[in-house]
Amino acid sequence: MSRLQLLAPAKLNLFLHITGQRADGYHELQTLFQLLDYGDQLSFELRDDSQVTLTPELAAVPFEDNLIIRAARVLQRIAGHSLPGVDITLSKRLPMGGGIGGGSSNAATTLVALNHLWQLNLPKQRLLSLGAQLGADIPVFIAGDTAWAEGVGERLTPTKTPDCWYLVLTPPCHVSTAEIFSHKDLTRDTRPIKVAAFSQGGSQNDCEALVRKLHPEVDNALIWLKNFSTSARMTGTGACVFASFNSERDAEQVLAQAPPQLSGFIAKSLQASPLKALVPD
């Protein structure tokens, strides 16, 4: 096989508790990663020479910094021999810096797709650890299950969540994960909870209050969405906010009423990502 086309799904953090900070500065957290059936589309086609190309490039991200290229370079370095080149095509739908994991999911999809196309046959555990070195959010996309996560997001327990439809609003601003995690006002001492104790009612997103204060666009989006759903909340370190609905139609009816400055999308909850089938045990 010389060509693969794959969905790089988005995720939501149904809740996000920050329970401490490690000596290296990274934060210990508890979260429930919900995969969605909506994301970027990536295609990979082997070339006769050894070049790696990306079309289109992201205007805001230099080529070698793009997580897609960084993931490809990691595999090239460990192959120990020259590999065929690859043309990568990216159809980007996910807003960047939205807390829905677009860059992380792109990287995970690239690691898994090229492991397959380049016939490296690296096992799942190796891919997970290579992914974790590129970003805290990458392992969940490699493992491919909606999952409860602890540590910095790498200790994953697949978890069944209710089937539902999510309305995700994308406020017109970019929130930097690093900025939020280094802010002095961030809540960092939430008491750990047990998996079984999770219910959306007894949980929160510890970054939400701070991000709402720093970014009025996020605050406004949440105020608007809470008119339709008391469970509306922010995902990750923002900027996106979301609410769940029992049917696609209910979600569509709310999105149709959004003011012009608020765009968004509707996605169905996904228990497992299509990538899973390509990850060797």
Ligand X SMILES: Nc1ncnc2c1ncn2[C@@H]1O[C@H](COP(=O)(O)OP(=O)(O)O)[C@@H](O)[C@H]1O
Tokens standing for residue 24: 């290296």
Residue 237 CA to chain centroid, in angstroms? 11
Q: How many residues bind ligand X (CB under 6 A)?
A: 18
Residues 212-251 that bind ligand X (CB under 6 A): 236
Alpha helices in the chain (DSSP H): 67-79, 102-117, 124-134, 138-143, 177-181, 208-214, 216-225, 248-256
User: Whole-number minimum distance, CB 105 to ligand SUD, in Å?
Assistant: 10
Just list the catalytic residues: 11, 137
Instruction: Please give the angle made by the CA atoms of 61, 127 and 79, to the nearest 5 degrees.
Output: 85
Of the candidates 219, 214, 246, which has an alpha carbon nearest to the alpha carbon of residue 234?
A: 219
239 preceded by a cis bond (ω within 30 of 0) = yes
Residue in 68, 130, 218, 266 binding ligand X, rule: CB under 6 A = 68
- Single residue of 99, 131, 139, 144 touching ligand X by CB under 6 A: 99
240 contacts which partner out of ligand X, ligand SUD, none, CB within 5 to 8 A by kind?
Answer: none
Please tell me whether residue 171 binds ligand X under the rule CB under 6 A: no
CB 74 within 8 A of CB 114: no
Do the Cβ atoms of 11 and 100 come closer than 8 Å?
yes
- Part of the chain binding ligand X (CB under 6 A), chosen from 94-102, 179-187, 197-205, 273-281: 94-102
Q: Does 100 bind ligand X (CB under 6 A)?
A: yes
* Residue 9 near which of ligand X, ligand SUD, none (CB within 5-8 Å, type-dependent): none
Structure tokens at 7: 């969905």
13 binds, among ligand X, ligand SUD, none (CB under 5 to 8 A by kind): ligand SUD
116 HSE (CA, 13 A, CB side)? 24
153 binding ligand X? (CB under 6 A): no
> What binding mask, one character per residue, do residues 254-273 give for ligand X by CB under 6 A, x or -?
--------------------
Residues that bind ligand SUD (CB under 6 A): 13, 16, 25-27, 29, 31, 99, 101, 104, 135-137, 152-153, 177-178, 181, 236-237
Q: Which of residues 45-64 bind ligand X (CB under 6 A)?
A: 58, 61
Residue 29 binding target from ligand SUD, ligand X, none, CB below 5 to 8 Å by type: ligand SUD
- Pick the closest to residue 136 from 29, 210, 242, 239 (CA basis): 29
**Beta strand ranges found along the chain (DSSP E):** 3-21, 27-46, 52-55, 86-91, 147-150, 155-158, 165-170, 233-234, 241-245, 263-270
Which amino acid is located at 34 in the chain?
Q
Binding segment toward ligand X, per CB under 6 A, in 13-21, 90-98, 139-147, 214-222: 90-98
Q: Please give the annotated binding residues for ATP, written as ranges.
A: 95-105
Q: Of ligand SUD, ligand X, none, which one does residue 61 interact with (CB within 5 to 8 Å by kind)?
A: ligand X
Residues of the shown chain interacting with ligand X in the complex, contacts defined by CB under 6 A: 58, 61, 65-68, 96-104, 106, 177, 236
